[in-house]
């Protein structure tokens, strides 16, 4: 399990975001390495989910977790994506987040970093 955090740098959670980027890269490489063996690899990349993670990390009052989705929804989409043979299964995003994640590699880096920073500031969900 990776995260949509893998697609962008994450100020205030730099190690988390970098770790998720590593997991995605590693999973994608494994996908190719095991081709033809009967083993498959899919990388689940959920957005913010309604779990204990936000509360434990002091993020429950942030814009990032204001639209957190159900883990059951993400698990179902991940399972379905795996059965469909997808390499990366992006799940659990609300409508406005989907194009943002798709376009993030093309967005100006400083603007993206400022946006992500703003999403993670405690009290920003108000």
pTM above the 0.85 mark? no
Q: Is 61 exposed, middle or buried (0-12, 13-18, 19+ CB in 10 A)?
A: middle
User: Which of the four pLDDT bands, split at 50, 70 and 90, describes residue 124?
Assistant: low
Q: What is the 3-state secondary structure (H, E, C) of 22-62?
A: HHHHHHHHHHHHCCCCCCCCCEEEECCECCCHHHHCCCCCC
Tell me what percent of the residues of the chain surpass a pLDDT of 70: 94
Q: CA-CA distance, 38 to 32, in Å (whole number)?
A: 12
Tens-place pLDDT, residues 48-100 = 777 877 777 777 777 777 777 789 999 999 999 999 999 999 998 878 778 88
Tens-place pLDDT, residues 102-111 = 888 888 989 8
- Give yes or no for a contact between 58 and 12, defined as CB atoms under 8 angstroms apart: no
- Give yes or no for a contact between 41 and 23, defined as CB atoms under 8 angstroms apart: no
Q: CA-CA distance, 45 to 20, in Å (whole number)?
A: 9
- Give yes or no for a contact between 4 and 46, defined as CB atoms under 8 angstroms apart: yes
């Amino acid at each position: 399990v990776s995260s949509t955090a893998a697609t962008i740098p994450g100020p205030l959670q730099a190690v988390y975001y970098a770790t998720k980027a590593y997991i995605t890269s590693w999973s994608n490489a494994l996908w190719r390495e095991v081709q033809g063996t009967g083993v498959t690899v899919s990388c689940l990349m959920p957005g913010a989910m309604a779990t204990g993670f936000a509360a434990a990390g002091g993020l429950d009052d942030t814009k990032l977790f204001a639209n957190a989705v159900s883990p059951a929804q993400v698990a179902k989409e991940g399972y379905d994506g795996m059965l469909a043979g997808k390499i990366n299964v992006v799940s659990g995003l609300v409508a406005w987040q989907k194009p943002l994640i798709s376009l993030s590699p093309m967005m100006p880096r400083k603007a993206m970093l400022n946006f992500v920073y703003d999403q993670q500031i405690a009290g920003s969900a108000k």
